[in-house]
């Protein structure tokens, strides 16, 4: 088991490792099903992730513990936005379908 973790660590970023070991399989499955039917809470516009955007996102996370974003068009931009949101808000990615991404607040 330890060797497998070391191999995963060599091939993954720190954020990916943290994300994968926080939730159990059953918990993640339940949260993904909730996120699938949840409407988009916030849309990231052409100005990107602003301070006002982060304030509103924190308010939603405090209320619900989960948030769903609509991201920008380009795939590389979406990946950068996901990493940035995880770092700035202390959240973890649950599911990403197309241009929508659902996150859970870390405990």
- What confidence score (pLDDT) does residue 28 get? 82
* 52-68 residue pLDDT tens: 999 999 999 999 999 99
Calculate the average pLDDT of the chain.
80
* 43-52 residue pLDDT tens: 998 888 999 9
CA 9 to chain centre: 20
Question: What is the CATH code for 23-105?
Answer: 3.30.110.60
Task: Give the C-alpha distances (Å, rounded to integers) separating 96 from 3, 8, 74.
Answer: 29, 21, 14
pTM over 0.85? The answer is: no
For the chain, domain boundaries? 23-105
């Amino acid at each position: 088991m330890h060797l497998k973790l070391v191999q995963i660590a060599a091939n993954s970023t720190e954020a990916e490792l943290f994300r994968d070991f926080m939730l159990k399989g059953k918990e993640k499955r339940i949260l993904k099903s909730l996120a699938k039917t949840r409407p988009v809470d916030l849309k990231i516009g052409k100005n990107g992730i602003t301070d006002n955007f982060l304030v509103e996102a924190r308010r939603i996370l405090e209320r619900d513990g989960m948030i769903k974003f609509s991201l920008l068009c380009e795939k590389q931009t979406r990946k950068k936005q996901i990493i940035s949101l995880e770092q700035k808000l202390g959240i973890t990615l649950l599911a990403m379908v197309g241009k929508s991404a659902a996150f859970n607040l870390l405990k």
